[in-house]
Amino acid sequence: MPEVNFYQSESGKYPVIEFLDSLNGKQAQKITWVFELFEEMSVVPRQYFKKLKNTDDIWEIRIIFSGDIFRILGFFERNNNFILTNGFIKKSQKTPQSEIKLAEERKRNYYERKK
């Protein structure tokens, strides 16, 4: 089962944690619950998790709560670690290209710094 980890920027910030801190308590609690579900289940239901097409192996965790759709993007690292790169509230059906590009950029940055 995957382990959820947070991308850390070169400046020491955790963008997804900052995103969660910007939400109200109930929203953040629901998202955290989905992270726990993700870690505990061997197969995560598609309604919560899917690979984004035409990306550099970027995946999306999707949470619906009180009419809002929260999206957390990330990628798998070795040993089944899942690195969360960025989060946003989605207003449309299509994931914004700017958010995908940001996730891909953070993925590249993550691996460059690991060398």
pLDDT of the chain, 115 residues: tens digit per residue: 788 999 999 999 999 999 999 999 999 999 999 999 888 887 777 777 899 999 999 999 999 998 899 999 999 998 889 999 999 998 777 889 999 999 999 999 999 998 7
Q: Which fold has domain 3-114?
A: YaeB-like fold (3.30.2310)
Where are the domains positioned within the chain?
Answer: 3-114
Rounded Cα gap, residues 66 and 57, in angstroms: 29
Q: How much is the pTM? A: 0.92
Question: Are the CB atoms for 74 and 62 separated by under 8 Å?
Answer: no
Rounded Cα gap, residues 108 and 102, in angstroms: 10
